[in-house]
Amino acid sequence: QVQLVESGGGLMQPGGSLRLSCAASGRTRSNYAMGWFRQAPGKEREFVAAINWRGRSTYVADSVKGRLTISRDNAKNTMYLQMNSLKPEETAVYYCAAKEVTVFSGSYYTDVGDYDYWGQGTQVTVSS
């Protein structure tokens, strides 16, 4: 079991920047591939970015490439999403997720159904 808590969301004008954090606790000595997803009102949860358990491989959705960056610091049990040049259509609740993997895994995952654990979400609002 691992517990995930997102933080860092808030209100930002278009073009602004935010950094989201996801802190893990519990069974943190296990290995977890992780990801960020977002869900706008009335819409399905959408993939944003993913990272493998060592942090050596990342993948981001085409819609955010060049503006959003995923990273992790396993010594701090924390994953990050740096968001730059934010757009109003990116207003959503942002969720972090974790999938337990073996020590040999170099994989990342992009589907909601791939993940075992989810945080409670943090609201990001981009508006003038």
pLDDT at residue 30, as a whole number: 84
Q: Going residue by residue through the chain (128 aa), what tens digit of pLDDT does each one get?
A: 899 999 999 999 999 999 999 999 998 888 999 999 999 999 999 999 999 999 999 999 999 999 999 999 999 999 999 999 999 999 999 999 999 999 999 999 999 999 999 999 999 999 99
Q: What is the pLDDT of residue 28?
A: 81
Give the sign of the dihedral formed by CA 100, CA 104, CA 108, CA 109: negative
For residue 76, the model assigns a pLDDT of 94
pLDDT at 24: 96
Q: What is the pLDDT of residue 58?
A: 97
Q: What is the pLDDT of residue 1?
A: 87
Q: What is the dihedral of CA 72, 74, 75, 77, to 10 degrees?
A: 90
Quote the mean pLDDT of the chain. 96
Beta strands 117-118; 92-101: pairing state: antiparallel
